[in-house]
Amino acid sequence: MSPWAKIDDRFHEHRKVRRAWHACPAAVGLHVLALAYCSCHGTNGYVDPEFVAERLPRSKDRTAAVDALTAAGMWMEDDRGGWWMHDFLDYNPAGVDAEAARARISELRSAAGKKGAAARWSQMANGKPDGKPVAKRCQPARQTDGPVPVPDNPEMQGSTSERHAHASASADGASAGVEPSGKGLRVVNGGATA
């Protein structure tokens, strides 16, 4: 329910934490995992047996950790077989409170987004910020079965290789000495004829 759980920056110095650590170091890790679990799922500090069994599958480890936490006074046993974290609600929001806060934040963000969109779109003339009209929808192109038109450009006549050679000759300037001929390209100024 809550996106976070509170833990004191002097957690490591608290006498209950030190007592649990000396009895079973895994107990302190289990306690921090349970703190996050309770906050996330809005259990108000209730730790169910299934959660503990998933985190510590070996019965011996589970018993040692839970005994260390209850002996230190960090957890209290419940009639349902689970445990309550000591003072959880004194430092963390209740599940119902956290859900109400999350819903309120969601409503505020939604309203702000709608307000921003309305302001943005109301400033636009003709649907665009520059005031120019939006283009009309184009008709789909129609396919014809006729021939594809070819431009009337003398440089574009001939085979592809001739056009490429002519283009490179044009790029190199007159020094290249390539001219189109009736049978292809011809190299002039001392070169071989192609």
pLDDT in tens, 49-80: 999 999 999 999 999 999 999 999 999 999 88
pTM (predicted TM-score): 0.50
Is residue 110 within 8 Å of residue 53, measured between CB atoms?
A: no
pLDDT in tens, 151-193: 666 555 555 656 555 555 555 544 445 566 666 556 555 544 4
- Beta-carbon contacts of 170 under 8 Å, excluding residues fewer than 6 positions away, are 155
Please tell me the distance from the alpha carbon of residue 78 to that of residue 100, in angstroms, as a whole number: 27
Q: What is the pLDDT of residue 174?
A: 47
Please tell me the distance from the alpha carbon of residue 172 to that of residue 88, in angstroms, as a whole number: 82
Find, among 164, 162, 158, 159, the residue nearest to 194 by Cα. Answer: 162
User: How many other CB atoms are there within 10 angstroms of residue 179's CB atom?
Assistant: 12
pLDDT in tens, 124-148: 655 566 656 666 667 666 767 777 7
